[in-house]
Amino acid sequence: MRMLLLGGTAWLGREITRSALDAGHEVTCLARGTDVVDGARLVRADREDPAAYSPVAEEQWDVVVDVSRQPGQVRSAVAALAPRADRFVFVSTCSVYATHAAGGQNEDAPTLAPLDADAMASLEEYGHAKVACEQAVIGGFGAGRSLVIRPGLIGGPGDGSGRSTYWPWRFAHPSNEAGAVLIPDAPDQPAAVIDVRDLAEWIVRGAAAGLSGVFNATGDVVTLAEHLRVARDAAGHEGAAVAAPADWLVAHEVHGWAGPRSLPIWLDDAADIGIHLHSNERAKAAGLLLRPLSETLGDVIVPDKPASGLTDGEERALLSELLPSGA
Residue burial 158-173, b: 16+ Cβ < 10 Å; e: rest = bbebbbbbbbbbbbbb
Q: How far apart are CA 275 and CA 77, in angstroms?
A: 29
CA 304 to chain centre: 21
Convert the pLDDT of each residue in 169-228 to its tens digit. Answer: 999 999 999 999 999 999 999 999 999 999 999 999 999 999 999 999 999 999 999 999
Residue 219's pLDDT is: 98
The lowest-confidence range among 2-16, 91-105, 148-162 is 91-105
Residue 325's pLDDT is: 64
- Give CB contacts under 8 A, 24+ apart, made by 47-52: 47/6, 47/73, 47/76, 47/77, 48/73, 50/76, 52/76
Higher pLDDT, 74 or 327: 74
What mean pLDDT comes out for the span 253-262? Answer: 97
Domain ranges of the chain: 2-151, 158-191+222-273+292-322
Count of H-run helices and E-run strands, the chain? 10, 15
Residue 101's pLDDT is: 84
HSE-CB of 30 using CA atoms within 13 angstroms: 25
Which SS3 state, helix, strand or coil, does residue 194 take? strand
Residue 104's pLDDT is: 86
* Nearest of 235, 242, 222 to residue 290 by alpha carbon: 222
Rounded mean pLDDT of the chain?
Answer: 96
Residue 213's pLDDT is: 98
**CA–CA distances in Å: residue 189 to residues 21, 141, 171:** 38, 39, 20
H-helix or E-strand spanning residue 283: helix 281-285
Which SS3 state, helix, strand or coil, does residue 65 take? strand
Q: How far apart are CA 88 and CA 65, in angstroms?
A: 6
Residues contacting residue 1 through CB under 8 Å, at least 6 positions apart: 20, 25, 26, 62, 63, 207, 208
pLDDT-derived band at 271 (thresholds 50, 70, 90) equals confident
Residue 113's pLDDT is: 98
Res 14 pLDDT > 90: yes
Q: How far apart are CA 216 and CA 4, in angstroms?
A: 23
* Nearest of 163, 144, 140, 143 to residue 153 by alpha carbon: 163
- Backbone φ, ψ for residue 217 (5° rounding): -115, 90
Res 326 pLDDT > 60: no
Q: How far apart are CA 84 and CA 60, in angstroms?
A: 5
Residue 94's pLDDT is: 97
Helices (H), 2-70: 11-22
Is-above-0.85 flag for pTM?
yes
Task: Dihedral sign for Cα 165, 166, 167, 171, please.
Answer: positive
CATH class of segment(s) 2-151: alpha beta
Q: How many residues does the chain have?
A: 327
Convert the pLDDT of each residue in 85-95 to its tens digit. Answer: 999 999 999 99
Residue 102's pLDDT is: 78
Position 15, amino acid: E
Residue 27's pLDDT is: 98
Q: Taking the CB of residue 313, how many other CB atoms lie within 10 A of it?
A: 9
